[in-house]
Copies of this chain bind each other. A is one copy, B any other.
Amino acid sequence: MSAVINCVAYAGGQREQAVDIADICEVLQRPGRFVWIGLHEPDEDLLEQVQAAFGLHDLAIEDAHRAHQRPKIEVYGESLFIVLRTVQMNGKENKIEFGETHFFVGLHYIVTVRHGSSLPYTDVRMRCESTPHLLKKGPGFALYALMDAIVDQYFPVVDALEHQLQALEEVIFGESFSRETTARIYGLKRELLEVKRAISPLIDICNRLMRFDLEVLPPDTRPYFRDVYDHTIRINEMVDTLRELLTTALEANFSLISITQNEVMKTQNEVMKRFGGWAAIFAIPTMVAGIYGMNFQWMPELNWRYGYPVVLTLAFGLCLGLYIHFKRSGWF
């Protein structure tokens, strides 16, 4: 797959033609045009070409090449450099995958540089082309459309995390928790922190896009960035709520472990009482029998006619008495 996904010139919001990167300067000499370039993990050569075409800053190009940046916005004169983190659920493993998209936005161009896991922006481009009256606003509108698409990808991810929490709640309060429950709570916390780190700088980025007084962001694009801002705030709030619930869930889980412990202990107590009680009951006739098994010459009871039944009756009577006693005091 080539690193240049798309490179198209637009005039008055209408797709004009696909352009070769080498011809960009020429194309832009005709007035009212802007170029929208989509790159995917470009090499240094390609980035240098792009840098040359639009006069981009060394540090921004270095960032776009190296990737692994945190989301940020930087203004270089009249042009913008924006870094966003994209997010996606890996369907098979149910894991969150992060990627990065870098934007260079100027009066006559918008360049996107994708890194890592992320969907191509072909859909966004098509949707923009279908509303030329909006795309006519220039690269600023394209930037909005792309940011909107990126932020919208966070909703299914946060929903998935919410479902994981709900599943955990059922496990925790359904008496079936185990060592694994704690590990899952911890894992969920880790994922939440990562999503938080990816999304929270966007609040500030949108805020500044709504306030910048640059030609590339005409005033009528502001409501659009405010829209992205609102979505970002909502995702942030969802993540924060999840985080606080998770903390409470961890504590609740802990106190339920302790309650289970209490229950186990109570069972233990009952087992011990029952065991102790029966031991006492058995001990009496055994002791009595031992006594009358002694070989003393002078043991008058042994010669009595009813010695045997009387002793037996007494011993087992005592057993019965004990049994009733334990029954009454709740031991049995």
Q: Which A residues are closer than 8 A to B by beta carbons?
A: 57, 59, 69-70, 72, 74, 76, 169, 173, 175, 178-179, 182-183, 185-186, 189-190, 193-194, 197, 223-224, 226-227, 230, 233-234, 237, 241, 244-245, 247-262, 264-269, 271-276, 278-280, 282-287, 289-299, 301-308, 311-312
* Other-chain residue from B234, B257, B284, B307 in contact with A296 (beta carbon distance below 8 A): B307
User: Which residues of chain B are near A267, meaning CB under 8 Å?
Assistant: 269
Are A223 and B59 interface neighbours, CB within 8 A? yes
Select from chain B the residue with minimum beta-carbon distance to A306. Answer: B298
* Other-chain residue from B59, B183, B258, B289 in contact with A287 (beta carbon distance below 8 A): B289
Q: Give Cα A305 to B279, complex, Å.
A: 32
Chain B nearest CB: distance from A116 CB in Å? Answer: 16
Q: Is the interface of A mostly helix, strand, loop or mixed?
A: helix
Can you list 13 pairs linking A and B with CB atoms under 8 Å apart?
Answer: A72-B230, A179-B259, A182-B259, A183-B252, A193-B245, A253-B255, A258-B258, A268-B272, A279-B279, A283-B286, A294-B295, A295-B299, A296-B307
Are A291 and B312 interface neighbours, CB within 8 A? yes
Q: A57-B223, A269-B268, A296-B308 are in contact. Are A179 and B256 (CB under 8 A)?
A: yes
6 further contact pairs, Cβ within 8 A, besides A186-B249, A257-B262, A294-B308: A185-B252, A264-B266, A271-B273, A275-B275, A295-B302, A297-B307
Q: Give Cα A242 to B266, complex, Å.
A: 33
Are A224 and B59 interface neighbours, CB within 8 A? yes
Are B276 and A274 interface neighbours, CB within 8 A? yes
Query: Shortest 3 CB-CB distances between A and B: which pairs?
Result: A289-B290, A275-B276, A292-B294
Are A262 and B264 interface neighbours, CB within 8 A? yes
User: Which residues of chain B are near A186, meaning CB under 8 Å?
Assistant: 169, 173, 248-249, 252
User: Which residues of chain B are near A260, meaning CB under 8 Å?
Assistant: 262
Chain B nearest CB: distance from A322 CB in Å? Answer: 10
Q: Give Cα A299 to B289, complex, Å.
A: 13
Q: Give Cα A258 to B259, complex, Å.
A: 8
Are B256 and A182 interface neighbours, CB within 8 A? yes
User: Which residues of chain B are near A70, meaning CB under 8 Å?
Assistant: 230, 233-234, 237
